[in-house]
Amino acid sequence: MEDGRFSLRATSTIHADVVVCGGGVAGAMAAVAAARAGASVVLVERYGFLGGNATAGAVAQFNSWQTANGRRVVGGLADEVVARLGRYGGAGEHATFVMSTGHRMDRVEYAPEVLKLVLDDMVQEAGVRPLLHASVLDVAVAGRQIEAVHVLTKSGVIALRARVLIDASGDIDALKRAGADFLELDDGEALQPATMMFRFGPIDFARFDALSKAEIAALARRGYDEGRLARAALHSSRDPFSDDGWFNISRLGIDATDAMALGAAEIEGRRQAWAAARYLRECVPGCEGGQLRAFGTQVGVRETRRILGDHVLTSAELLLPEQFPDAIAAGAYPIDIHPAAGGELRYEGLGDDHAYQIPYRSLIPVGFDNALVVGRGVSATHSAHAAIRVMTISMAVGQAAGVAAAIAAKQRAGVRAVPIQALRERLLGDGAKLA
Ligand SMILES: Cc1cc2nc3c(=O)[nH]c(=O)nc-3n(C[C@H](O)[C@H](O)[C@H](O)COP(=O)(O)OP(=O)(O)OC[C@H]3O[C@@H](n4cnc5c(N)ncnc54)[C@H](O)[C@@H]3O)c2cc1C
């Protein structure tokens, strides 16, 4: 390194009980939970801040905390995130939200910039060592063990040696490098599209919010038919600090693990967002005085790789709902599939008191003894993933994986040897909901 030339060999090594790759909401919660459970933790993130889709992607609303009739199914660390956002003034209250499909859910709108602070606070207070501006480069494997994760940083390549790896990179890059197996799409399925979120304002919310569902639908349809909106929707959330909204109305049908396609989507996403902002200003009541104020740092990515786990969660199991003895999280978000191009959402609502469970086995990658997957890469079919991918559930699964990894690291017996009842009791004690 000294003479300026770059080596792909690691120049330093860090040891930890648990290494978490990816600092989205799932990874951040996993790191905090593992550290609070007594593990030494390094959290790797390619950006200079945490949050992933929740901050870089500016998604700006945590959806679906409860069943349609109001029974809470997500708590624990996710609740703490909202409470901390509230202390900064960076989140609204839990509020009922009726989707364009008529489905009732509970959501919390938040300021993505404030979420960065909250996640900083939580990882620092828990004693997690964040390694920011670090990208997964390679993974050393010996048989069924992950030996080390090599990350590329400004200081060169660092080797991270841990007893347990949690892959929270969304795209599951670390386990991809390790040679893990992934689920394929079935015939007729396509990856859900990415979206470039954008901030628009000021909005006269008295007039904008007074629009009926039918009026919103008609405006969205007109914008789409005229080729000015890439998606026939005006879906948005309100910034808690201002009269601005974050709009989720672009659509980019790509595989975001394809580098060229991802770069092209950033450019196309900004183009679509600019055109949509113009449509808002010219055609939507309450938006006449607004302008596009910011893009997401990157396109938000809904779906890429899904790991092949010990259990592949299916939509039939969610709809039943199947009761799993190793349930480590619950959810009530419906199956919500955005078409990659054109068309309407495929939306399968759930019954009034319907919640489903996520089994621990869906976090365990086939072929490895010391790795777990959290967030949008969990082992689930395309349609089951379309429900469990949301941030509330991702945080709950992250919390569970963090505790499990801390137990596995302490026992030195691999992730399949984690005593499920002890894990579940610890999670319930920490305020998590498992049904
Ligand atoms: C447009 C859009 C709208 C959505 N709407 C909602 C909604 O309204 N409500 C809701 O609850 N959910 C919503 N979701 C879903 C939700 O945002 C995501 O599924 C969830 O945030 C996934 O979290 P994650 O931590 O698993 O992954 P991600 O958020 O993708 O985080 C992965 C992290 O890993 C990092 N990373 C990736 N690769 C590497 C690497 N090689 N090395 C180092 N770091 C790496 C990334 O920078 C990122 O921080 C939406 C998603 C999108 C895209």
**Coil/strand/helix, residue 304:** coil
The percentage of the chain sitting over the pLDDT mark of 70, rounded to a whole number, equals: 98
C-alpha angle 364-72-33 in degrees, rounded to nearest 5: 40
Phi-psi map region of 232: left, alpha, beta (phi>0 left; psi -120 to 50 alpha): beta
Q: How far apart are CA 405 and CA 401, in angstroms?
A: 6
Rounded distance from Cα 222 to ligand 1 centre (Å): 30
> Confidence band (pLDDT; 50, 70, 90) for 1?
very low
- Cβ neighbours around 357 below 10 Å, total: 23
State residue 322's pLDDT score. Answer: 98
| Residue of minimum CA distance from atom 31 in ligand 1 | 24
| Residue of minimum CA distance from atom 27 in ligand 1 | 170
State residue 11's pLDDT score. Answer: 86
Closest ligand 1 atom, CA of 195? 1
**Cβ < 6 A, ligand 1 pocket:** 21-27, 44-47, 52-54, 57, 59, 61-63, 135-136, 168-171, 173, 195, 197, 248, 300-302, 375-376, 389-392, 394
What residues contact residue 275 under an 8 Å CB cut-off, 6+ apart? 228, 229, 230
Rounded distance from Cα 170 to ligand 1 centre (Å): 6
For the chain, the structural domain boundaries read 12-188+303-429, 198-295
State residue 349's pLDDT score. Answer: 82
Rounded distance from Cα 239 to ligand 1 centre (Å): 19
Mean pLDDT calculated for residue range 120-141: 98
Rounded distance from Cα 55 to ligand 1 centre (Å): 9
Give the lowest-confidence range in 7-11, 140-144, 154-158, 180-184: 7-11
State residue 162's pLDDT score. Answer: 97
Rounded distance from Cα 22 to ligand 1 centre (Å): 9
What distances in angstroms separate CA 174 from CA 241, 307, 372, 388, one per listed residue? Answer: 37, 11, 11, 21
Choose which residue among 19, 73, 390, 399 to substitute to test ligand 1 binding: the one with the highest number of ligand atoms within 8 A of its C-beta: 390
How far from the centroid of its chain's Cα atoms is residue 174's Cα? 17
State residue 103's pLDDT score. Answer: 75
Q: How far apart are CA 82 and CA 63, in angstroms?
A: 12
Rounded distance from Cα 332 to ligand 1 centre (Å): 19
State residue 4's pLDDT score. Answer: 65
pLDDT digits (tens, 9 = 90+) for 155-202: 999 999 999 999 999 999 999 999 999 999 999 999 999 999 999 999
Mean pLDDT calculated for residue range 397-426: 98
Mean pLDDT calculated for residue range 256-261: 98
Q: Which residue has the higher pLDDT, 228 or 11?
A: 228
Closest ligand 1 atom, CA of 135? 42
For 235-246, b/e burial (b = at least 16 CB within 10 A) is bbbbbbeeebbb
Does residue 428 surpass a pLDDT of 50? yes
Q: How far apart are CA 8 and CA 280, in angstroms?
A: 48
Does residue 152 surpass a pLDDT of 80? yes
Across all residues in the chain, what is the average pLDDT? 96
Rounded distance from Cα 57 to ligand 1 centre (Å): 7
Does residue 97 surpass a pLDDT of 90? no
Choose which residue among 109, 169, 298 to substitute to test ligand 1 binding: the one with the highest number of ligand atoms within 8 A of its C-beta: 169
Closest ligand 1 atom, CA of 26? 25
Give the CATH architecture of domain 12-188+303-429.
Answer: 3-Layer(bba) Sandwich (3.50)
Mean pLDDT calculated for residue range 370-375: 98
Choose which residue among 53, 73, 252 to substitute to test ligand 1 binding: the one with the highest number of ligand atoms within 8 A of its C-beta: 53
pLDDT digits (tens, 9 = 90+) for 231-247: 999 999 999 999 999 99
Rounded distance from Cα 169 to ligand 1 centre (Å): 8
pLDDT digits (tens, 9 = 90+) for 320-366: 999 999 999 999 999 999 888 766 778 888 899 999 999 999 999 99
Q: Are 101 and 345 in contact (CB under 8 A)?
A: yes
State residue 104's pLDDT score. Answer: 80
Rounded distance from Cα 218 to ligand 1 centre (Å): 30
Q: Which residue has the higher pLDDT, 404 or 346?
A: 404
Q: Which residue has the higher pLDDT, 97 or 250?
A: 250
Rounded distance from Cα 4 to ligand 1 centre (Å): 35
Choose which residue among 32, 257, 391 to substitute to test ligand 1 binding: the one with the highest number of ligand atoms within 8 A of its C-beta: 391
Q: How far apart are CA 412 and CA 222, in angstroms?
A: 60
pLDDT digits (tens, 9 = 90+) for 265-309: 999 999 999 999 999 999 999 999 999 999 999 999 999 999 999
Q: Are 108 and 65 in contact (CB under 8 A)?
A: yes
